[in-house]
Structure 1
């Protein structure tokens, strides 16, 4: 048997849910330490592919661990985490950055393994660092606009 809910109770419940969502969204911030850490990890993901296999595996393990630690520290400090792949315009931004990452990764790997040039790996890592920093700021501005949590 279900209990009847009055329209007033339903409206109050919806308002409470919206307020809780806005409160959580307001906790999401983009501190510079997070952008620097994330951008460094992403740049490192490009650069370590020049390493020989045993060192490559260790470096990737380190970088994935650093990524996990970064997310853990963010959650611990701010009490909330929002995936970059969340629905909305932010997903398009995250997808665009991922496509750029794959393109830079492909050019860097081709240059290193086929043309035997190391400098494109360095340039690719530097470009990815800058794109990740800018992309993170654009993502956050878009998230704030979508959730109405201000600038």
Structure 2
């Protein structure tokens, strides 16, 4: 006797989620999506009937959106974990600018380094550039000192 193993239609649809969702989004109606799927996946008609497909496809669309959102969140968490696993030595090499330089605060803002210090009740800013340079910072501080 040849007994075929029964496959759960929804589990089958989850396994073929990408192809099914692509067909559902490309075709304007479920019958057209079903016909397109029968061409792409011929065995689908043996596993699922059309009426079952219509009901489960709606669920799969919502389910797919939730999965995509969770995968995005998971990617962000993985990036944070990778960042936290980075040894402090590597992090210091990547950001070689000190926090303070000759009494001035150092700030990296929008990709540009600048120095800041409160002088005569006002905050003074000195633009350094995209890359931190101790010599350039010292020179600009001395120029500002001569101007005052």
Q: Which has the higher contact order (CA 8 A, sep 6+)?
A: 1
When the two structures are superposed, what TM-score results if normalisation uses the length of structure 2? 0.30
Structure with more of its chain in helix, by fraction: 1
Structure with more of its chain in strand, by fraction: 2
When the two structures are superposed, what TM-score results if normalisation uses the length of structure 1? 0.29
- Larger Rg over CA atoms: 2
